[in-house]
Structure 1
Amino acid sequence: MTAFAYIGAAIAEIAGCFAFWVWLRLDKSVWWVVPGMIALALFAYLLTLVEAEHAGRTYAAYGGVYIVSAIAWLWIVEGAKPDRWDMIGASVCLIGATIILFGPRAT
């Protein structure tokens, strides 16, 4: 469930932020903000589904998933193929997220 919540949250957050980008940077209609706000609300909700004791740790681990998802968005939606530095950086972030989320904790 955690992986699906993180991936869904990342897609929703990137889509929501992209809607604002389209409006403000690409000079499109303000109506792009409406689905953007819905996507950002979905993003926040999905993060609450992650089974973790502390919100901060959930958000920290999510950061790595977000970075990998942003690189995928770059490639799939924007048509810009990631270079090796994008892939190395995303891999390092995902490893860090895994350590944060699944590292042993004292009870």
Structure 2
Amino acid sequence: MTAALYLAAALFEIAGCFAVWMWWRLDRTPLWLVPGIASLCLFAWLLTLVDADHAGRTYAAYGSVYILSAILWLWGVERVRPDRWDLIGVAVSLVGAAIILYGPRPR
């Protein structure tokens, strides 16, 4: 369930940021901001559904899923194939997230 929430949150965060990018950087209509803001609100709400004791750890682990999702966005939406350095960076960040989420901690 955590992975699905993180992936959904990443999709909504990237979509929201992309909407702002379209308006600000590509000079598109400000109407792009409407779905962008809605998407960013959904992103924030989804992160609150992750079963974790501390928000900081949730956000830190989410960062790696965001990195993975951003590279998938680069490939799928922007049609730029990730290179080996993109893939190595994603792998390293996912290992880091696993350490943050599943590392042993005293109770």
Mapping of residues 1-107 of structure 1, within 5 Å = 1-107=1-107
Identity of aligned residues (%): 65
Provide the TM-score with structure 1 as the length reference: 0.99
C-alpha RMSD of matched pairs (Å): 0.5
Q: Displaced runs of 4+ in structure 1, greater than 3 A?
A: none
State the AA in 1 paired with 2:35: P
Provide the TM-score with structure 2 as the length reference: 0.99
Count of residue pairs the alignment pairs up: 107
State the AA in 1 paired with 2:37: M
Provide structure 1 residue ranges, at least 5 long, that are not aligned to the other structure: none
State the AA in 2 paired with 1:21: W
CA distance in 1, matches of 2:70, 2:10: 8
Provide structure 2 residue ranges, at least 5 long, that are not aligned to the other structure: none
Q: Give secondary structure in 1 for the equivalent of 2:64.
A: helix
CA distance in 2, matches of 1:92, 1:54: 23
